Chain A
Amino acid sequence: MSLSTLEQGVVAQKRHRPTRFFSRLGPVLWVGPAVLLIAGVVLWPVVIMIETAFQNISPDGFIRGWAGWRNFVFLWQEPDLTGILVRTVIWVATIVVCTMLISLALAQLFNQKFPGRRAARWALIAPWAASVMMTAIVFRWGLDANNGVINVFLHDIGLLARFNSEASDWLGSPGSAFAWMIVVAIFVSVPFSTYALLAGLQSIPSDVYEAARVDGAGVWRTYLGITLPLLRPAFIVALLINVMNVFNSFPIIWEMTRGGPGHQTSTTTTFMYQLKQSYIGESAAMSVVNFGLVLLIVLVYLRVTVWKSGTAEP
């Protein structure tokens, strides 16, 4: 660059300073509404939630003043809380792990060329597109102790001796009810994860595989050494979204057992809703705890997986 052009540049910069000032403001104009929206729709409710957790509110919604930490004390004193927390961990861990493993396999399958692939891909969308509540109701009726279609099938193939028995009443005892709800939750979570991973698989350039083949890597070596590491960004995103979705999952449990008997199939999310009916403050306290747990999961996760390195490695 010659001296004269440099000078010209400086002059030009000086002349355009006001414009530059406004052009710096420009992004604010574009980002501003989004920020306001987030503040109003996300942050403000969080503030209200925390405020409510410290208020004494009558069951009819009248504020009777501040409660200090009393709502949290009541919450810790709930005899069922420990069981609910443990169950929530089992709920999230089992569903997310199973979903991700199944999705890895399914994504691999759908990435192959085979006749009818388009139809198969479309079919996978069905559980995702259907309302979760609808799916839960269908399963609830299917498991009916007296005449549920799943029980009728088990009866016909000779696995179920009689209807209206302990064995046919899947949703009646907490263990089998919870297991069935986990199955339903996996069923509705798999499509999203599969598509996220499938998109990840399709973005892996084919020349990497060619190089691996030239170097003589086997199928498993290729999968573990190339596919999985390159799939990491998609995998992490799918995993994280799943963890939060499953943690906050309400309709499956609500429609299939309402958390019953007692609170023996409740997670913190459904328990929070049940508390709301009678004890709004305590319910808000549960809500704050839930919120804290989700934040914690996200933070721990971001730390452990070192977000950036996954994308930087290739």
Chain B
Amino acid sequence: MRIACRPLFAGGMSAAFALTLGLFAAEPARADTVLTLVAADYGTGPADSSQIYWQKIADAFHAANPSITVKVQTVNWNDFDTKIQTMVQNRQYPDVTEGDYFSNYAQEGLLYKASDVLSDPSNLMPAFKTLGSYEGVQYGMPFTTSSRAMFYNKKLFAQAGIAAPPKTWDELMTDAGKIEALGKIGYGMPLGPEEAQAETFLWLLGNGGGFQTADGKWDINSPQNVETLDFMTKLVKAGDTEPNPGTKNRAVILEQFAQGQVGMLNGLTALLPIIKQAGVLKDSDWGTAPIAGKTGPLDTTLGVCDFIAAFKTDGSKQEAIKKFLDFAMQDQYQVDFAQEYNLLPGTTSGAAAFVKVDPALASFVDALPKAVQYPNSPVWAQVKTQIQQLIGTAIGPHPKAVLDSIQQTALKGS
């Protein structure tokens, strides 16, 4: 569910520090309401940290509502899930989170319904309504979205004598081999813990597989998934990917693509600012294409959405949260965020406003409604953790055993 992801070392530490401060500062000396916002950091460094984006909103909001103060903490993507989970386990609930949303929090009754804390929940992008819902009620509020595509380095393709981006797995393997021969990484396969579930999912989709069947039954160790992992293993063994993909996080691979070291990878629009910052590839040096599948390109893609969730705690801050979310979800801020990180908005009116400002990305917005999404299940949090930790070891002689073990996690429940 996470969209962008550049680790920022200071992020985690400063957030922990801010939390410590927050614990002391939250003492209500006046009747003011203090809201704690914990958000994932989409930035690549201190200059474009999401802390800046949120602080701007928090300041503007405080100016309009002097009795409410919003304390902003941002956490780097590598630690975001663990951080929120630990806060919940310790009963130190944040008031609002922005980043991954897990329906197990809704299942435990910890969250406000979207309709409790937003004046107009119908403006949230309908495509992600199910994903943000638990038992038919929406809790997760789409904040920012993205869809995936294959990014390829045109320069390397030309050097290797490849005319067009690959459409099938076999073509992908041949092309990756040619780029490998140039001394570069043919295909970037980030199966490290950071975002392994996305890369895995895209490969599974290419062979008609997935994490669940159409009727929502866990189907992780299906024969076609095993076949997919076998092919991925073949690709890795041939040396067409970076070495040991199971230990390589996406942030590193995206960075290497931006440095011109990677022939192709499954990426997202958030790669654009990374390419720009690196200053190695010109706009004409790279392109996007549909993601290759076993016998042909995917006709759909993975649609990813990051959500806002509002925690109830003692239930006393509902009005303040509602005021803040109505304020923060305005089109203006939705467009700001999408432009800052090259992502797509999470609200319908925000998307409409964004397309006017940035028509080039209109096709990505249009692709969202039919995009495939992650499973909507309270066990997904555990399953995802298992995939992130273990899927790298499925690259090898026994993919079935690893998939079996992840399937076990799904069936074992939370």
Contact = CB atoms under 8 A, between A and B. Distances in A.
Asked if chains A and B come from one complex, the reply is: yes
Contacts of B381: 59, 278
Question: Which are the 7 A-B pairs with shortest beta-carbon distances?
Answer: A172-B244, A61-B89, A262-B393, A261-B246, A169-B243, A261-B392, A278-B382
Residue of B91, B184, B389 most packed against chain A (CB within 10 A): B389
A146 B255 CA distance: 11
A122 to B, nearest CB: 28
Contacts of B82: 277
Nearest to A259: B389
B90 interface: yes
A265 B384 CA distance: 20
Interface core residue of B89, B185, B382, B385 (most chain A CB under 10 Å): B89
Interface string A129-155: 000000001000000011000000000
A260 B105 contact: no
A280 B89 CA distance: 9
A275 to B, nearest CB: 10
Contacts of A260: 192-193, 246-247, 389, 392
A115 interface: no
A168 B81 CA distance: 31
Contacts of B393: 261-262, 264
A181 to B, nearest CB: 13
Contacts, number: 85
A61 B91 contact: yes
Nearest to B386: A278
A258 B79 CA distance: 12
A91 B260 CA distance: 39
A274 interface: yes
Nearest to A144: B252
Interface of A: 58-62, 79, 137, 145-146, 162, 164-166, 168-169, 171-173, 177, 257-264, 274, 277-278, 280
B88 A261 contact: no
A168 to B, nearest CB: 8
A59 B389 contact: no
A133 B390 CA distance: 24
Interface of B: 9, 81-82, 85, 88-91, 104-105, 108, 110, 183-185, 192-193, 239, 242-244, 246-248, 256, 261, 381-382, 385-386, 389-390, 392-393, 401-402, 405, 414
Nearest to A171: B247
Main secondary structure of the interface of B (DSSP, over half): helix
A172 B89 contact: no
Given A164-B261, A280-B89, A145 B242 contact: yes
Contacts of B184: 164
Contacts of B414: 58-59, 278
A79 B89 CA distance: 26
B193 A258 contact: yes
6 contacts: A137-B9, A165-B243, A166-B244, A257-B247, A278-B382, A280-B89
Given A145-B243, A278-B382, A59 B85 contact: yes
Given A145-B243, A260-B246, A277 B193 contact: no
Nearest to B259: A146
B401 to A, nearest CB: 8
A258 B105 CA distance: 26
Contacts of B244: 166, 169, 172-173, 261
Given A260-B247, A261-B392, A59 B256 contact: no
